[in-house]
Chains A and B, each alone.
Chain A
Amino acid sequence: MLSARHTAVLLQLLHLVWSVTDGSSSSGTPPAPLVPARPPRTKNGPRRAEQVELLKLVKPGAMNLSCVLDDFLGATPDTIRVSWERDGVEIAQSEVTVQRADGRYSLRKEFFIERPGNYSCIFRNDTQEVTKAFLVTAPAMKEVRDKPVVGYVRDSVVLTCKIHPAPPAWQWYKVNGSEKDAVNTTAEPPRYKVTDKGEEVALTVMNLTEEDSGSYLCVALYLIAPAEGAVHLRVITFVEPLKPFLAIMTEVLLLVSLIVACELRGRTRAAQATATAGPENGRNVSGGEKAWPEESNGVEEAATRQRKA
């Protein structure tokens, strides 16, 4: 079989060909060995095994990020080099060498984080890398409704947003095409009212018109970065629910008239029957209020009774 050195040269050649066709430049890191089980499709060559941790921050501040690795892809060399990256760009002069201690490699570094980003520590040896990433973001809006809130013309409607923890300030925008306009709460006559309840904010839109339909953005102004949520408003006139209302009312009126008509028909039929049959059969049918002869049950019972009486 090929010696290890031959293999390495062959792979380097292959990598070169590959990166040229890819159009991207190698970052100078050594090529990864071809292992049949896993396709090495990383642009930068070295295979990375990633762990990701999500961090939610509300304001800029110092954060201690600590990376711990039990073993480096199965191997346990005595020392390992670790460097830090922010958003894919290596932080200058951040590479240190870590000794293996207590069965693991651990490193901690304090960062002053000003804005959201992807902070990662990269453990590397000559051929491979293992990274652990910290995704720093602002909190996300809770309970975002995808269905629109419905309001009526000339009525008012309340749009709400919830987030945890409570931001220092809230801001509302109305989306107009591709732009957003800040909601003006001071215009006369008052059309918008913002109620800030810390973790929850409510925008009351009064005297609705159909132009008020659309998307509204509630923005929680955290110091680190704003967090957005979208609420959709649909303004309809009262004609819309009136349609099913009138439909059901028509159905009710039809039913009532049907029932009354059937009964009147039955009574006239019974009155005719008693008029022809004479008084013995019609003990129940004098007056207009009885409807027994209408149903077959009643007729049978009446006949039975007459026989047994």
Chain B
Amino acid sequence: MVRARSREPAAAPDGGWGWVVVGVLFVTSALVFGLIRSLGVFFVEFVHYFERSAQAISWIASIGVATQQLMSPLGTALCNAYGARPVVMVGGLLSGVGLTLASQATSLTELYLTMGLISGVGWALVFTPVVASVMQYFSRRRSLAMGLGFTGVGLSSFAFSPLFQLLVDVYAWRGALLILGALSFNMVACGALIRPLGSARTKSQALGDQADETSCSSLCSRAFVYLELSLLLHKPFVIYTLAVTLFNAGYYVPYIYLVAHSRHVGFSEYQAAFVVSAAGVADLAGRVIAGWTSDLGRTRLPHMLSLWTGLTGLFMLLLPSCSAPGSYGGLLLISLLYGFSAGAMTPLVFSAVPEIVGTHRMLGALGLLQLIESVGGLLGAPLSGWLKDQTGSYTGSFLLAGGCLLLGTLVLAGLPHYFACSPSSGVESPGQNQSPEAGLLTHAVCVPTLSKDLPTSGAENASAPLSPNLDDVQPRPGVDPSALTAAALQDNVGC
């Protein structure tokens, strides 16, 4: 449907329907990551039924997560082309279909294909577009919205483990997977709730005539634009991605090794499990509180992020030494602090993206970020495991993880204008640092409006699309997003 105007401003409502989309994020993160975290119940059954080793079975989850992260750019590219709503609905359909087919699997390979690949692609098509949609709906309270949405993961892992155990007891793993598939279909309903803000076809309109051609070069250029591959040359994005990859390398280590480390130091099974549960609760609290405090606007978002990642790294480094003397209280305290700061950094990692690349490229940025940060996750856990095998204790693994986080914090300081008190021109216009081809495609449409806004404070701009955004976006003290968000919001995001 071609609109009369090619540019529609997409002001972030910061409320209203936005909270419904936060609810959608809650439910989808529960049904994606909460589900993945609770699959352990099934693995015991698979080991018995298929008579294979635990390692072969654990590949199912690994393939699922890897597919979700690798296909994230695909998800965001499709979102750029068609809008978030259809993509999330198709993703929910695929993940449900994958689990339903898995209930009929007769071999482990079939499980890899269905639960791993098909559901993995479905999860990729769901997760990142929903995250991006929440970020579009909020600008002032973005971090709080993200924090609230992500609590879905923590709460669902508490609820899903006993639920899955019950389903397996009553229906065996086949019936339980069938019911899980039905539960995953709920994400289709969630996707239906994501009302598009603004035109869903801006990017394809920006491509102009080329959108109608089907020649190879036009497809390639469309893919290039949708995938936002030009971001790979965007220096702040590259720095940020590197930092987040380092974060990812260290982030999961305590989750995997905390129980083992507690047992190793000499505490009982029950005590070790309690430490992990306590850290999980602190994680939930950290997400919400960090989101809320960072939205207060006292400090810039990259600074807040550095604070929390630095603290997380610090607590990880302290963890082995605080638990070594055998003091349970010390271990519990450090784990609580670690859980809180680890939860705190999660929503900020996502909500800092629009500040770095601008709202109109946020979608592709999220996809690429997920893809590249998965490398950190893939490397970090085995490396820590290898360290443990070499040194015999988990101290080395925790030190490595903490070191990765601190290194990432340092890399974060390399962002341009990091040390400035306000990001006066934090976002470069998309006309720069792009390949000429993509630049030609978007340049003609983007630059004129941007060049109007960036040098001035935008409030002087009397054009109707611009000023409403400024009134909606209350400028935070110390931060001057009016110029950048107004300019960024000017080019509305595809979903």
Contact = CB atoms under 8 A, between A and B. Distances in A.
A241 B185 contact: no
Closest 8 CB pairs of A and B: A241-B175, A297-B16, A305-B468, A248-B182, A150-B172, A255-B189, A259-B192, A241-B171
Interface string B16-51: 110000000000000000000000000000001101
A248 B186 contact: yes
A296 B16 contact: yes
Interface string A266-309: 00000000000000000110111111000111100100110011
Contacts of A195: 51
Contacts of B199: 287, 289
A286 to B, nearest CB: 6
A241 B174 contact: yes
Interface of A: 147, 149-152, 155, 157-158, 160, 195, 202, 236, 238, 240-242, 244-245, 247-249, 251-252, 255-256, 259-260, 263, 283-284, 286-291, 295-298, 301, 304-305, 308-309
Interface size of B as a range: 35 or more
B195 to A, nearest CB: 5
A295 B1 contact: no
Contacts of B179: 241, 244-245, 248
Nearest to B190: A255
B171 A240 contact: yes
B16 A150 contact: no
B468 A301 contact: yes
Given A245-B181, A249-B185, A289-B200, A158 B192 contact: no
Contacts of A241: 103, 171, 174-176, 178-179
B171 A160 contact: no
B196 interface: yes
Nearest to A254: B189
Contacts of A242: 178
Contacts of B196: 289-291
Contacts of B193: 259
Contact of A260 (B48, B186, B192): B192
A238 B118 CA distance: 23
A298 B13 contact: yes
A156 to B, nearest CB: 8
Nearest to B196: A289
Contacts of A244: 179, 182
B282 interface: no
Given A297-B13, A301-B11, A249 B170 contact: no
A307 to B, nearest CB: 10
A248 B183 contact: yes
B188 interface: yes
B471 interface: yes
10 contacts: A149-B172, A151-B172, A152-B172, A152-B174, A157-B49, A241-B179, A256-B192, A263-B195, A290-B198, A301-B468
Contacts of A259: 189, 192-193
B171 A252 contact: no
Nearest to B185: A252
B269 interface: no
A245 B189 contact: no
Interface in B147-195: 169-172, 174-176, 178-179, 181-183, 185-186, 188-189, 192-193, 195
A155 B104 CA distance: 10
Contacts of A296: 16
A260 B85 CA distance: 12
B437 interface: no
